[in-house]
Amino acid sequence: MSASALLRAAWPPIALGCGLVLLTLLIGASDTAQPLIYVILAVGLYVFVGNSGLISFGHVGFMALGAYAGALLTMPVTTKEILLPDLPGFLAGAPLSTVPAILLAAAFVGAVAYLVAFPLMRLSGLAASIATLSLLVIIQDVLHNYEALTGGAGTLTGIPTETTETTLLVWALIAIAVAFAYQRSRFGLRLRASREDEVASRAVGIRVERERRTAFTLSAMTMAVAGVLYAQYLGSLTASSFYLELTFLVVAMLVVGGQRSLTGAVVGAVVLSAFATIFDRLEAGEGFGPLTITLPDGSREILFGLFVIAVLVWRPDGITRGREVPWPFSERVDSALRSLVEMLPTKRPLGKKG
Amino acid sequence: MTETIQDVVNAVSLGSLYALFGCGLALVLGTARIANFAYGAAIMVGAYLLFLLADLPWPVVVLGVVLGVVALSLAIDGVAFRPLREADPTTLLVASFAVSVLLTNLAIAIAGARTKGVDFGSSLLGSVDVGGVSIAKLDLLTIALTAATLLTLTVFLRRTLLGVQLRAAAEDFTMARLLGVNANRVIAAAFAISGVIAGLAAVLLTVRSGTLSPDLGVQPVLIAFIAIVVGGMGSLAGATAAGFLIGCLSVALEVLLPPDLRPYRDAFLFSLIIVILLGRPQGLFGGQQVGARV
């Protein structure tokens, strides 16, 4: 594949990645942490929801499992002895650094998701959604009550805050790349075929349950990564923050952006979290340059609700209408670009550069 | 023995309340194809209306709450859902989340986020003696009110023109429209009736707990969602029965689980729901057809 064709094939993630990097540079790192976590969450949910067409309400549960797993893997031994004295031996040991903790937490959550997907992915439509919602309730109930592991309903503190905005940006880019690679892979394409027409896809030999299981596992792992990063960014965890409110927020991001495209997931996350950040500031009485209005408490959520309804009435299929970032160059520019690339000496002997 | 009877009454009472939740949501789902999450918020607003009106004589209070919630439900339909009639079910669901967020935070902005006590219907909190077993008056009232509501609804759906149109729309919306059923009117009727049920549920729920908070609608709407799926999509009777079953199961688990597992009651309840769905993905009372017909 020539360089230009490769660029064109991988254009959506490249464009989205560049957009995110630019945005981070423009608004400064400190405001981007939350939006970047939301981007990873929305992309993670998209991997399953966007490709399979089933709505899942259980994914924030996987984020919670990832967050708690990450917390237990990275907390210093002394903190664990004080806060969680009844921790089982293998978790009480010495802490891991960030990247191994993320990988291990993702592997654990992936294993859980793979197992629960066996029964859950036999369901379709709203039954599947309600089953995943049940999963969310079960995870929440266990986190709330299993005090030896999670500290119960209170806040678990003392998690080392090692995550920076740059780390978040890197993981967001990885999530976007992985999601795109999956949706263009044979597995992703099979699943998308079943989304368009389940009966027809079965008729041509696609094992729908298996494809859904793959997507479910991959997307749960992405949610787990977001969970670990979230835990490490905040330094504390509360079980009740991983419940319906966050679930609706992430689902709303996906639907507002356009649930059928990766671009939609990223755009939805960026737009809704930008909206939230702006009104957070206004509520706190900080203005933007000459614009200083102080809003009463709760008005942010009210305006948020109105905004979501307005966007959906304006575009019921989401802002992107389920399309990816289009290739921005017209055919003439495109062919000029291609001939330019072809003029470059491409066939060099291996190992000898320049 | 006495305790068992009390547990059974308790189960039937909670089951009745949950049956009301399920029935109200199923009506809107059946006709308008909206999984209306804002139903919980409507119940919450009903409870706050009750708080505002609590000093008036009780029939006025109940009537005020019911009318208020009906008006709200019609307004939600008109503003949020009517422009989205042709939209994807997921879009409708998210729109209903948005309405729910909006109403919940309106309640927070006006009344504050803290839990409030309500003094209404405290005379119902006593119990009566039935054949040597003391039974809470509120349980009896809940059971009676649910039975009366469901009976009225059944008569309405079977005997009136609007009721028949509603059932036709629930069966096959496109066909019903082709035969001259006014879509917007039928959907508005479904929202209005679901508003009546939400209003009654709000009264029962508030008297039962004696408190109100902005998130009080969440649990009911969760139960209702599960009831409509477990009962079988689009089946009104199914959703009602499933709501009843979930209430009974919940009380049964509370009674039967060993004490150290009791905090995990919800985990057990929802695992059971997954098991039911695995056994009958089309719902307990749904038809046989699961996959799409080609």
- Is A349 part of a structural domain of the chain? no
B87 touches chain A (CB under 8 A): yes
* Contact state of B91 with A317 under an 8 Å Cβ cutoff: yes
User: Do A138 and B290 make contact, defined as CB atoms within 8 angstroms?
Assistant: no
Nearest to A309 among B93, B99, B108 (CB): B99
Q: Does A354 fall in a domain?
A: no
Per-residue burial over B231-248, b if 16 or more Cβ lie within 10 Å, else e, is: bbbbbbebbbbbbbbbbb
Q: State residue B290's pLDDT score.
A: 46
Q: What are the φ/ψ torsions at residue B135 (nearest 5 degrees)? A: -125, 135
Q: Do A127 and B108 touch (CB under 8 A)?
A: no
pTM listed for this prediction: 0.85
CB pairs under 8 A between A and B: 144
Q: Which amino acid is at A9?
A: A
Asked if A135's CB is within 8 angstroms of B281's CB, the reply is no
Mutate to test the interface with A, among B92, B106, B270 (most CBs of A within 10 A): B270
Q: CB distance from B261 to chain A under 8 Å?
A: no
Task: Please give the residue of chain A at the shortest CA–CA distance from B294.
Answer: A199
**pLDDT at residue A290 in the model:** 54
Task: Find the domain containing A48 and state its range.
Answer: 3-343
Structural domain includes residue A36: yes
Tell whether A126 is within 8 A of chain B (Cβ): yes
The confidence score (pLDDT) of residue A352 equals 47
Which residue type, as a one-letter code, is found at position B263?
Answer: P
Residue A166 lies in a domain: yes
Residue-range domain boundaries for chain B: 2-279
The full length of chain B comes to 294
ipTM score for this prediction: 0.81
What does the pLDDT read at residue A354? 41
Which of B84, B106, B229 has its CB closest to that of A316? B84
Residue B117 pairs in a beta bridge with B211
User: Min CA distance, A136 vs chain B (Å)?
Assistant: 9
Distance, in Å, from the CA atom of A33 to the CA atom of A130, rounded to the nearest integer, reads: 31
Taking CB atoms and an 8 Å limit, are A138 and B226 in contact across chains? no
Q: A275 touching B, CB under 8 A?
A: no
CATH number of the structural domain B2-279: 1.10.3470
Is A313–B90 a contact, with Cβ atoms under 8 angstroms apart? no
Contacts of B279 in chain A (CB under 8 A): none
Closest CB to B291: pick one of A134, A199, A251.
A199
Helix, strand, or coil (residue B2): helix
Q: Cα A21 to the chain's mean position, in Å?
A: 17
d(CA A12, CA A14): 5
Residues of A in contact with B230 (CB under 8 A): 130
Of A123, A244, A302, the CB nearest to B105: A302
Inter-chain residue contact B281 with A122, CB threshold 8 Å: yes
Number of separate domains in chain A:
1
Residues of chain A falling short of pLDDT 50? 352-354
Query: Could you read off the pLDDT tens digit of each residue along chain B, which spans 294 residues?
Result: 677 888 888 899 999 999 999 999 988 888 888 888 899 999 999 999 999 988 888 889 999 999 999 999 999 999 888 888 878 888 888 889 889 989 988 888 888 878 888 877 777 777 887 777 778 888 888 999 999 999 999 999 999 999 999 888 877 788 888 998 888 889 999 999 999 999 999 999 998 888 888 888 888 998 898 888 888 876 788 889 999 999 999 999 988 888 888 888 888 988 888 888 888 877 787 655 444 455
Which residue among B90, B100, B267 places its CB closest to the CB of A141?
A: B267
C-alpha to C-alpha distance for A54 and B128, rounded to whole angstroms = 49
* pLDDT number for residue A347: 52
In a domain, A351, yes or no: no
Please report the DSSP string for B11-68 in residue order: HHHHHHHHHHHHHHHHHHHHHH----THHHHHHHHHHHHHHHHTTS-HHHHHHHHHHH
Q: What is the DSSP letter of A349?
A: P
Nearest Cα of chain A lies from the Cα of B119 at a distance, in angstroms, of 27
CATH number at residue A290: 1.10.3470
Record: contact A309-B270, CB cut-off 8 A: no
d(CA B246, CA B226): 9
* Phi/psi-derived region of residue A218, left when phi > 0, alpha when psi is between -120 and 50, beta in every other case: alpha
Q: Which residues of A touch B218 (CB under 8 A)?
A: 244
What distance in Å separates the CA atoms of residue A141 and residue A139, rounded to the nearest whole number? 5
Quote the radius of gyration of chain B (alpha carbons, Å): 19
Does the CB of A306 have a partner CB in chain B at under 8 Å? yes
Q: How far is B77 from chain A (nearest CA, A)?
A: 12
Is A55–B106 a contact, with Cβ atoms under 8 angstroms apart? Answer: no
